[in-house]
Amino acid sequence: MIPKEGGDLQQDSVAAPTATHQTLQVKTQRRHTQQETRNNKGDIKHRTLKTTHKPTRPMGNRSRLGTAISHIIEYGEIKFKMNTITEEEFDSEFVATRLFSAIRDQDLRSVKMCIKARDNVNVRCRKTGMTYVHLTVKTALPISEVKYVPIIHQLSNADIDLNAKDKNGTTALYLSIERQLLEVMAALLRCGAHFQPNAEEEVFSCLRGPFVYEILNRYKSFSPGYWDALRDGKAFRVNVLVKSWCRINISRHGITLIEYAKQKNASEKVVRQLIDNEATIEFAHATIAGDCEKMRHLLLHYPVDLSTTDLSHRENFFEPYSPLTLQGAAIKYGHKDALSILKEAEVNRQSQTEKDTVKSSVICSIS
């Protein structure tokens, strides 16, 4: 009996570790399962954090503007490159001029120096027939075109032919519309570039992109120009152009705009408005160009309205129209010296107004 019991006990002692081992295996499997579950949850949570984004804020006006511009540059039918011109496009003599280098390098100071040194602004490229105005438009990009507006005004002040055509019959104005350069186009129209309705309507019909309506709308705000408005007796249109700083000191076929107004029997009020605003608008153009010498000359010899504003001004596609003052123009185009002249002129004007007020008061008291 004892051996049997011993045997039974031995069997039991052997079986017990086996059960314990199975229990340990079960517990180990459970721990592995729990660990895998936790890991899976962690992975899911990690993946969720990666794929779940916080709600984005609505883009502001500037963000939408930048996005729209990038779409024009990247996806538009006219794809611009950072360097839009190559010297191989032009003849060597044109490329060798100082004005070519200054415009290509976007160096307004050098452009002014060349003009003051009386470099010939009406030089043409013999290969393409392009002028320096064409070169300016061709160099500008939609995202940085504001920097080229003063160059347009500098060349205009130097009596360059804004309406010259290249060998393909293309004007700088046509090219600015084709390249969707809103600010440059407006500058050309403001300086007196001629309208070519048939050609420009054709290029508008080929444009694509988010700014086409804005460019067309801005174009129409300057059309018809002075000449057509005076011919058709549209006094209101003349007033709109004056309030938009459109140059009055222009001529066609040897006849000045004011002479033309008199020939067309424009009302005395219209003629007087042109005469009274001619110097002020010249001063505004000199301010945009950063031509401090011309600004001082006009202040010294002509009556200039320092409170004049450009009512056609609009900061960008998404902003409302907001009048641009002379000081605002100096700031927008980065002319610190011009801004100093304007501030000094404003102080002098206020001082003169106070003197005139005191003088009139003394006269009244004596009488």
- Residue % of the chain over a pLDDT of 70: 72
Average pLDDT of the segment spanning 301-322: 89
DSSP 3-state helix, strand, coil percentages of the chain (rounded to 5)? Answer: 65, 5, 30
Q: Nearest-5° angle of CA 233, CA 239, CA 243?
A: 155
Task: State percent of the chain over pLDDT 90.
Answer: 59
* pLDDT at site 350: 82
pLDDT in tens, 6-36: 444 444 443 444 444 555 455 556 665 555 5
Q: Per the structure block, which two tokens stand in for 72?
A: 């024009």
From its phi and psi, is residue 41 left (phi > 0), alpha (psi between -120 and 50) or beta?
A: alpha
Strands 251-252, 255-256: pairing kind: antiparallel
DSSP character at residue 253? T
CATH topology of domain 224-361: 1.25.40
Residue 60: the pLDDT is 46
pLDDT at 263: 96
Contact 229, 237 (CB under 8 A): yes
**Unique residue bearing structure tokens 């309506």:** 213
At CA 23, angle to CA 42 and CA 25, rounded to 5?
Answer: 50
pLDDT at 213: 81
* Fold: same for 81-223 and 224-361: yes
pLDDT-derived band at 321 (thresholds 50, 70, 90) equals confident
Report the CATH number of the 81-223 domain: 1.25.40.20
pLDDT digits (tens, 9 = 90+) for 66-91: 444 444 444 344 444 444 678 889 99
| Spatial contact of 85 and 138, defined as CB atoms under 8 Å apart | yes
- Show me where the domains of the chain are located: 81-223, 224-361
What 3-state class would DSSP assign to 255? strand
Q: Which helix (H) or strand (E) holds 310?
A: strand 309-310
Residue 94 makes CB contacts below 8 A (sequence gap 6+) with: 100, 123, 124, 125, 126, 127, 130
